[in-house]
Amino acid sequence: MADKLRAQQQLEALQARFVGVGHPDTTKFEWTSNIARDSIASYIGHPPMLQYMSIGLGQPKEKTRIQLIERMIQPVGKPPAKEV
């Protein structure tokens, strides 16, 4: 029992520390949002990738960067309605 408790505590610590660590009740929305946000953060963070996208879109890198961050607010659409 003590082991289980410790495991639980460790998991909670991880969840507090790192965004996106799952739990048994992770919804599809949370999960896909996390993936999409991680991907976008990676696109912004790798300079060649941001440049590649900007060239395709025909706009400055700064503009692409802002558009991508905006996408992080709600990357996979509206959250599902809570079941009552």
The pair of structure tokens assigned to 53 is 């996208």
Which parts of 50-69 interact with another protein (CB under 8 A)? 51-52, 54-63, 66-67, 69
Number of residues that bind another protein (CB under 8 A): 38
The rounded distance, in Å, linking the Cα atoms of 38 and 29 is 14
Q: Give the angle 34-67-42 at the CA atoms, nearest 5°.
A: 45
Site membership for another protein, residue 49 (CB under 8 A): yes
In a 3-state reduction of DSSP, which class is residue 12? Answer: helix
Site membership for another protein, residue 78 (CB under 8 A): yes
Residues near another protein (CB under 8 A) are: 18-20, 33, 37-38, 41-42, 44-49, 51-52, 54-63, 66-67, 69, 72-74, 77-82
